[in-house]
């Protein structure tokens, strides 16, 4: 089976991106895995520090490994937005394929020194773990916000190059118009996030690194296609899946008021999450026709 690094390495020349979806539990994992498998696409499951605290760091790793081994399937596990080295080390020891070591809230020099230290420490535990670093502002919280975030500081190609060479990261998370979460206007379909495609191309050229687009929920589809052409190799979708989960459950509770069997109710959430995951995976891989017609 291909390693995560090999899968990302193939994504770049093929001009596709690997989808990354956050999960909190086995229902989420089931939805992501089944969607990917139906489309025969590699996929990344991510857990933030909060999600890992809920599901347990090693339990998430074990569950993902079962699917990977049983189906010989390229499903990878990411320790998303990790703010302390201890937490990242715990994920490295548990066998996570990658981590987003996120110290982007610090001044640049401090972000560089802490990220560099994390790369060294994590590679010492697991040399094949990929380390992602983040610069610029993309907001926190994959939640529903009253207003769309504005005026966030975007990543420049120069700082991206300096950050990449000083830290030794494998993957860069830039700020290129992407933001975590969805505003109410985005949920109503009135507003979409728009990306700075030229900036993505310049950062890709300046660093030569794999690049992750965080906070892609609610982004214009054509911008996502162009971002992949410009060098994005991994795309994170979280809030759209969370919204589908909630709506799926609400529908189930409303239509079956006497139902108390958890897995029967949860299937509605799984089904709703799968619709989002499948549509996004199809877009990222250029397999749209399958999602639309199949």
Please say whether the beta carbons of 144 and 184 come within 8 A. yes
Q: Quick check: 52 binds Zn ion (CB under 5 A)?
A: no
Q: Are 279 and 293 in contact (CB under 8 A)?
A: no
Q: Which lies closer to Zn ion via its Cβ, residue 52 or residue 214? A: 214
**Tokens linked to 5:** 């690094």
CB of 271 to Zn ion, least distance (A): 25
* C-alpha to C-alpha distance for 163 and 29, rounded to whole angstroms: 33
> Measured from the CB of residue 48, what is the shortest distance to Zn ion in angstroms?
8
103 binds Zn ion (CB under 5 A): no
Q: Segment contacting Zn ion (CB under 5 A): 31-39, 51-59, 61-69, 209-217?
A: 209-217
Nearer CB in complex with Zn ion: 214/280? 214
Least distance to Zn ion, CB of residue 137, Å: 12
Nearer to Zn ion, 161 or 214 (CB): 214
Site size with Zn ion, rule: CB under 5 A: 1
Rounded Cα distance, 147 and 11, in Å: 34
CB of 62 to Zn ion, least distance (A): 24
Which CA distances in Å does 93 have to 121, 142, 160, 250?
11, 26, 28, 38
Stretch that binds Zn ion, among 50-58, 207-215, 248-256, 282-290 (CB under 5 A): 207-215
Q: Do the Cβ atoms of 164 and 210 come closer than 8 Å?
A: no
Q: Closest CB to Zn ion among 145 and 252? A: 145
Distance, in Å, from the CA atom of 155 to the CA atom of 125, rounded to the nearest integer, reads 30
Q: Are 165 and 124 in contact (CB under 8 A)?
A: no
Helix (H, G, I), strand (E, B) or coil at 40: coil
Rounded to a whole number of angstroms, the minimum distance from the CB of residue 145 to Zn ion is 14
186/147 Cα distance (integer angstroms): 9
Is residue 214 within the footprint of Zn ion (CB under 5 A)?
yes
CB of 215 to Zn ion, least distance (A): 6
Q: Which residues would be at the binding site for Zn ion (CB under 5 A)?
A: 214
């Amino acid at each position: 089976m291909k390693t995560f690094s090999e899968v990302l390495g193939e994504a770049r020349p093929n001009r596709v991106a690997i989808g990354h979806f956050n999960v909190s539990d086995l229902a989420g994992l089931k939805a992501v895995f089944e969607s990917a498998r139906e489309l025969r696409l590699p996929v990344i499951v991510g857990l933030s520090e909060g999600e890992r605290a809920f599901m347990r760091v090693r339990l998430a790793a074990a569950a993902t490994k079962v699917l990977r081994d049983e189906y010989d399937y390229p499903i990878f596990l990411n320790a998303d937005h990790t703010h302390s080295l201890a937490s990242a080390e715990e994920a490295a020891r548990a066998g996570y394929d990658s981590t987003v070591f996120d110290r982007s809230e610090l001044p640049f020099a401090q972000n560089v020194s802490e990220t560099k230290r994390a790369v060294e420490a994590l590679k010492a535990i697991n040399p094949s773990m990929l380390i992602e670093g983040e610069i610029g502002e993309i907001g926190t919280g994959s939640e529903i916000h009253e207003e769309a975030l504005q005026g966030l500081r975007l990543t420049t190609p120069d700082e991206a190059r300096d950050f990449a060479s000083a830290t030794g990261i494998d993957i860069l998370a830039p700020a290129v118009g992407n933001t975590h979460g969805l505003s109410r206007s985005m949920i109503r379909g009135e507003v979409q996030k728009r990306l700075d495609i030229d900036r993505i191309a310049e950062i890709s050229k300046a660093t030569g690194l794999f690049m992750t687009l965080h906070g892609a929920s609610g982004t214009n589809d054509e911008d996502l296609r162009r971002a992949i052409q410009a060098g994005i190799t991994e795309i994170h979708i979280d809030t759209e899946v969370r919204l589908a989960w909630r709506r799926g459950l609400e529908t189930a509770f409303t239509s079956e008021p006497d139902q108390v069997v958890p897995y029967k109710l949860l299937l509605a959430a799984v089904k709703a999450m799968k619709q989002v995951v499948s549509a996004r995976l199809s877009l990222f891989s250029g397999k749209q026709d399958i999602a639309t017609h199949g």
